[in-house]
Amino acid sequence: MRVLVACEFSGTVRDAFIKAGHDALSCDLLPTEKPGRHYQGDVRDIFCWGWDLMIAHPPCTYLSASGLHWNGRVPGRAEKTEEALKFVQTLMDAPIGRICVENPVSCISSRIRKPDQIIQPWWFGEDASKKTCLWLKNLPLLVETNRLPGNDKTRRANQTPSGQNKLGPSPDRWKERSKTYQGIADAMANQWSKP
């Protein structure tokens, strides 16, 4: 299968599909953090390269529900949310037969459509909490592979006692928080591997 992993600089999902025997390419405006097949540039430029599957991770900075309160306080931020929503719709409408768009809880749900599935990393063997929405086109729901004990109220390794993410302010915080957990990447590669 030919797999495009859009808006990914980490190489995690790309490498999971390569390990599963597929021809996978990551694409981002940033260079890849791990050596491998990567197109540095605008993903819209390569939509027509004959992909069987696209998994897209659009930047959530202006989409995430946790940050939308800034739209009324910071001039120009609401316009950036509108641009981000247009980009998400472009990804969803890409001329590719099977698509997954992944993002945290965001205004995509209220402005475009509700997600097909909401997953947690701890369903896939990762000691972390990060509610992740999936908007799917011609793909089955992901089946949990290794659910850890507990529930949504259980504090995970990535959380403070108040439930917030442990990562403190830093220039790279957004990069670290945006990475896909390996357990989820492996589940996508193993469960969505049929052409």
Domain boundary assignment for the chain: 2-191
> How do beta strands 38-40 and 23-28 pair?
parallel
| Torsion of the alpha carbons at 171, 40, 83 and 90, rounded to the nearest 10 | -140
**The 3-state secondary structure of 167-183, one letter per residue:** CCCCCCHHHHHHCCCHH
Q: In the prediction, which pLDDT does 64 show?
A: 80
Query: What is the Cα–Cα distance from 62 to 53, expressed in whole angstroms?
Result: 26
Query: What is the Cα–Cα distance from 110 to 7, expressed in whole angstroms?
Result: 22
Instruction: Going residue by residue through the chain, which has 195 residues, state the pLDDT in tens, using 9 for 90 and above.
Output: 999 999 999 999 999 999 999 999 999 999 999 999 999 999 999 999 999 999 999 998 878 877 777 777 778 878 888 899 999 999 999 999 999 999 998 989 999 999 999 999 999 999 988 899 999 999 999 999 999 999 988 988 876 565 556 555 556 644 555 679 999 999 999 999 976
> How do beta strands 23-28 and 98-104 pair?
unpaired
What is the reported pTM?
0.90
Q: In the prediction, which pLDDT does 156 show?
A: 84
| Domain covering 2-191 assigned CATH 3.40.50 in the classification | yes
What is residue 35's three-state secondary structure?
Answer: coil
